[in-house]
């Protein structure tokens, strides 16, 4: 049951990353979208649990202040005018990806060098 649950959680995370990369493509944030697709590909490769933790830790750190940094203030709008429903959906996707990344990384792993 544990392995099946892990695969399900990973699949849900990959779907979230897919949705996030699509939003970034719409917003013209090609570099961030490309980076997110690379992370998604790495997770789809079926990494070992240790490597999965590394990938998710890097994802979480990068979303906050690294090369994949995605500010919460991006508006999900193509014409430059905020679309509240799309913005809320976009922000919720970012938050869900961050929760996914945090959940996949055991607290003790942050201290492993």
Distance CA 38, CA 66 (A): 15
Distance CA 58, CA 97 (A): 12
**Structure confidence at residue 18 (pLDDT):** 92
DSSP element (H, E) containing 17: helix 2-26
pLDDT tens string 39-64: 999 999 888 888 888 888 888 777 76
pTM for this predicted structure: 0.74
What pLDDT sits at residue 113? 36
Domain ranges across the chain: 2-111
* Mean pLDDT (whole number) for 90-107: 80
> How does DSSP classify residue 78?
S
Q: How far is it, in rounded angstroms, from Cα 87 to Cα 48? A: 35
């Amino acid at each position: 049951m544990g392995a099946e649950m892990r695969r399900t959680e990973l699949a849900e995370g990959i779907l979230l990353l897919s949705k996030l990369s699509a939003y970034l493509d719409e917003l013209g944030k090609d570099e961030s979208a490309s980076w997110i697709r690379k992370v998604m590909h790495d997770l789809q490769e079926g990494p070992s649990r240790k490597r999965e933790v590394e990938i998710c830790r890097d994802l979480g750190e990068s979303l906050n202040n690294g090369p994949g940094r995605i500010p919460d203030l991006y508006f999900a709008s193509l014409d430059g005018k905020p679309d509240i429903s799309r913005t809320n959906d976009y922000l919720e996707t970012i938050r869900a990806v961050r929760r996914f990344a945090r959940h996949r990384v055991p607290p003790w792993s942050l201290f492993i060098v």
